């Protein structure tokens, strides 16, 4: 079964093509800067242990033109891996927000599309791109089964005491004001990998997804019981451009004292805060360079970033009543040794003790970085949201 996985953002599209049940993709790609005259497409084909890369810069004004270019690459004589788009049996879509309505992977129908559209107000930065990806894929792959995999679905197992806010009850029942959580596809994937590695299905695991967006989840016996992102992806950990958890009164203060509008405050907290607001850089690699050069703001930002994660670890150990493994994943979690070192320092009460030599090693495989004396495993597990989406599509159609 050929499953084409699309992860469409507002100005980008990530994709992978799987020939299931094989878990290695036969091609993958990234389209960046959609809507600009210098859009970039990087297309990789994997064959006989080799990787062939096609890279091009060209104007791609919208998602339809971007995905049309992908179809050309997939079918182009000489480098194509299929002859006709009809060979794609399933298209799996990442959809960020599924609200309470979607707690499982779902075949996309006109009714499902309409409900996804209604949820745009809850994820205005993500769901519009996800929705566009669905509409374009329906045109380009008309014979394929279109399936939605929701980032929020994994967190729907949280108990009510964890997902409710202490606001008037009618705001929950009438407007859906509650904790939804995000990055669920990633948290689910690495939590399952960790439980399998530990050979302990009932394991108590904390998964930490650190990229430009950051979240942490408490997982017990494969079920999420709490997570840091809330009603939107703004809450919780400090992120690349998002503030993370903040006193709600700051919003009122900025409106009354600084004269900022709701829209301006939204932009401030979502796009101009976090590491960007603290250091001037949203990319942790740039922040680390500044820190290494002696920049005091960058040094403080790293301390704040790690300390916020530590506080969540402590609260989630309490929620789980124990801990078998701490898992780092995503771009920063997998590649930033300094972040991992700072997060795991002074955490011996929880059995966490990092081995600095193991932590400094680079690998694309699942690995332990805890010391031999540690009583709790510290794991780095590369995430693969696209593979998880493909697997969920297969399970749904089985």
Domain residue ranges in the chain:
2-150, 200-380
pLDDT recorded at residue 112: 94
pLDDT recorded at residue 118: 87
pLDDT recorded at residue 131: 87
- Going by their DSSP bridges, the two strands 204-210 and 145-150 should be labelled as unpaired
pLDDT recorded at residue 93: 94
What is the side-by-side order of every strand in the sheet holding 50-58? 50-58, 39-47, 27-32, 13-19, 2-8, 90-95, 145-150, 106-107
The structure's pTM equals 0.91
- Going by their DSSP bridges, the two strands 204-210 and 325-329 should be labelled as parallel
Tokens of 108: 């996309």
Pick left, alpha or beta for residue 55 (phi over 0 → left; psi -120 to 50 → alpha; otherwise beta): beta
DSSP letter at 377 equals E
Tokens of 18: 């799987």
pLDDT recorded at residue 105: 94
Q: What homologous superfamily is domain 2-150 in, according to CATH? A: ATPase, nucleotide binding domain (3.30.420.40)
Tell me which H or E stretch contains 54.
strand 50-58
| 3-class secondary-structure state, position 28 | strand
The answer to whether residue 151 is catalytic is yes
Binding site: what residues are annotated?
7, 14, 94, 209-213, 283-285, 331-335, 385
The total number of residues written for the chain in this structure = 398
Q: Which residue from 269, 281, 236 is spatially nearest to 260, judged by alpha carbons? A: 269
Q: What is the CATH number of domain 200-380?
A: 3.30.420.40
Per-position DSSP letters for 2-26, written without gaps between them = EEEEEEE-SS-EEEEEEETT--S-S
- HEC secondary structure over 228-291: CCCCCCCCCCCCCCCCCCCCCHHHHHHHHHCCCCHHHHHHHHHHCCHHHHHHCCCCHHHHHHHH
pLDDT recorded at residue 259: 96
Burial class (CB in 10 A: 0-12, 13-18, 19+), 237: buried
Are 350 and 376 in contact by the 8 Å Cβ rule? The answer is yes
pLDDT recorded at residue 32: 87
Burial class (CB in 10 A: 0-12, 13-18, 19+), 5: buried
Q: Which of 62, 84, 151, 235 is catalytic?
A: 151
Q: Which residue from 150, 129, 145, 17 is spatially nearest to 66, judged by alpha carbons? A: 129
Q: Report, as ranges of residue numbers, the positions in the chain whose pLDDT lies below 50.
A: none
pLDDT recorded at residue 119: 86
- Going by their DSSP bridges, the two strands 13-19 and 27-32 should be labelled as antiparallel
Binding site for ATP: what residues are annotated?
14, 209-213, 283-285, 331-335
């Amino acid at each position: 079964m050929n499953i084409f996985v699309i992860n469409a953002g507002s100005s980008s599209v990530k994709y992978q093509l799987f020939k299931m049940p094989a878990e290695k993709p036969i091609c993958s790609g990234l389209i960046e800067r959609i809507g600009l005259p210098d859009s970039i497409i990087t297309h990789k084909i994997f064959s006989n242990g080799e990787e062939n890369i096609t890279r091009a810069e060209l104007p791609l004004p919208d998602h339809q033109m971007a995905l049309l270019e992908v179809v050309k690459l997939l079918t182009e004589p000489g480098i194509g891996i299929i002859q006709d788009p009809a060979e794609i049996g399933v298209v799996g879509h990442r959809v960020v927000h599924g609200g309470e309505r979607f707690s499982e992977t779902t075949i996309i129908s006109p009714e499902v599309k309409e409900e996804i559209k209604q949820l745009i107000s809850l994820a205005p930065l993500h769901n519009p791109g996800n929705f566009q990806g669905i509409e374009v894929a329906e045109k380009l792959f008309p014979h394929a089964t279109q399936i939605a995999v929701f980032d929020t679905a994994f967190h729907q197992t949280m108990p009510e005491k964890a997902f409710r806010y202490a606001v008037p009850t009618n705001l929950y029942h009438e407007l859906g004001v509650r904790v939804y959580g995000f990055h669920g596809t990633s948290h689910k994937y690495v939590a399952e990998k960790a439980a399998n590695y530990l050979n302990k299905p009932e394991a108590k695991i904390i998964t930490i997804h650190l990229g430009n967006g950051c979240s942490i989840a408490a997982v017990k016996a494969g079920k999420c019981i709490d997570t840091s992102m809330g009603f939107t992806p703004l809450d919780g950990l400090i992120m690349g451009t998002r503030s993370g958890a903040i006193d709600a009164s700051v919003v009122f203060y900025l409106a009354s004292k600084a004269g900022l509008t709701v829209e301006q405050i939204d932009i401030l907290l979502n796009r101009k805060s976090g590491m960007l607001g603290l250091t001037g850089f949203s990319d942790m690699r740039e922040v680390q360079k500044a820190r290494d050069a002696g920049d005091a703001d960058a040094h403080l930002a790293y301390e704040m970033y790690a300390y916020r994660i530590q506080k969540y670890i402590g609260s989630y150990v309490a929620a789980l009543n124990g801990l078998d493994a701490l898992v780092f994943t995503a771009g920063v979690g997998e590649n930033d040794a300094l972040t991992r070192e700072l997060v795991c320092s002074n955490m011996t009460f929880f059995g966490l003790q990092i081995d600095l030599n193991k932590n400094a090693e680079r690998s694309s495989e699942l690995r332990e970085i805890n010391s031999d004396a540690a009583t709790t495993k510290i794991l780095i597990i590369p995430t693969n949201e696209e593979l998880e989406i493909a697997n969920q599509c297969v399970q749904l159609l089985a």
